[in-house]
Structure 1
Amino acid sequence: MMIKFILRAENAVILISSIYWYSFCQFNWIVFAVLLLAPDIFMIGYFVDKTLGAYIYNIGHTYVLPVILLVYGLYTAQQTFMMIATIWIAHISLDRTLGFGLKYGSDFKDNHMQNV
């Protein structure tokens, strides 16, 4: 029970930090609102089957790709990449704060946050 709380709190801090970073960079809040749920497009694999769905969903819901995109955006001073990466990180951290985690191939409802 305590571990779930810690994981959710940790992701809440990441969510707050990403929102702060977004504000600090003075990015457009309308874009934030429009794109916040965009990473859920990674659910598309579930139209084929649960295993493929979980695999594709998990690719889009780990911090690896958005952090790489953020670092690339910082390195090249490309604000669009930084903005998209920050929204993506906010989405993942919001999901995890709410208890939605990486999916298992057994069912869409089965995720790593439940099994901690």
Structure 2
Amino acid sequence: MSAEDWQKIEGGIIAATALVIAFMAGAGWPWWMWLVVLALPDLSMAGYLLGPRRGAALYNLFHLYAVGMVLVLLGMMTGQVGLITLGLLWLAHVGGDRGFGFGLKQQSGFGDTHLGPIGRGSEKGRDHGQG
């Protein structure tokens, strides 16, 4: 297996684990709030309005596991279950992205990631001897 495959497996495990723990934490939010919070990291795509270099930097910042971990830690330090849940859902989002092969962005364009190309015409799989 390639390093990219291992990162996808790791991402899937992190996503599943974070979701289970988030449900166990029980923030008491309505179901729609879970969906909103899960989508929050993708607001960073707006950075691409400033160009590919800044867009990639902002997207990558918001798609680090560390952001979710810091939110969980802050929530634990302050006793705020909602902040813990926010961090866990952030981790679930990032892990899910990695699990599906959506990696950190390269400055060359949104479709170029550290896990390989994504999107239409990406020839995903062929680049790694899988096609």
TM (norm. structure 2) is 0.82
Give me the whole-angstrom Cα distance separating, in 2, the residues matched to 1:33 and 1:45. Answer: 21
Match of residue 14 from structure 1 = 14
Match of residue 61 from structure 1 = 63
In structure 2, which of residues 109, 119, 130 is the aligned counterpart of residue 107 of structure 1? 109
SS at match of 1:33: helix
Match of residue 70 from structure 1 = 72
SS at match of 1:36: helix
Q: Deviations along 1:22-67, whole A, 9 cap, x unmatched?
A: 1211233612122211210011110110000001101100011221
User: Structure 2: where are the runs of 5+ without partners?
Assistant: 118-127
Match of residue 25 from structure 1 = 25
What is the number of residues matched between the two proteins? 116
SS at match of 2:116: coil
TM (norm. structure 1) is 0.91
Larger radius of gyration: 2
Match of residue 39 from structure 1 = 41
Q: Runs (4+) of structure 1 moved beyond 6 Å?
A: none
Aligned partner letter, 2:25 = C
User: Structure 1: where are the runs of 5+ without partners?
Assistant: none
2:50 is the counterpart of 1:48 = yes
For the aligned residues, what is the CA RMSD?
A: 1.6
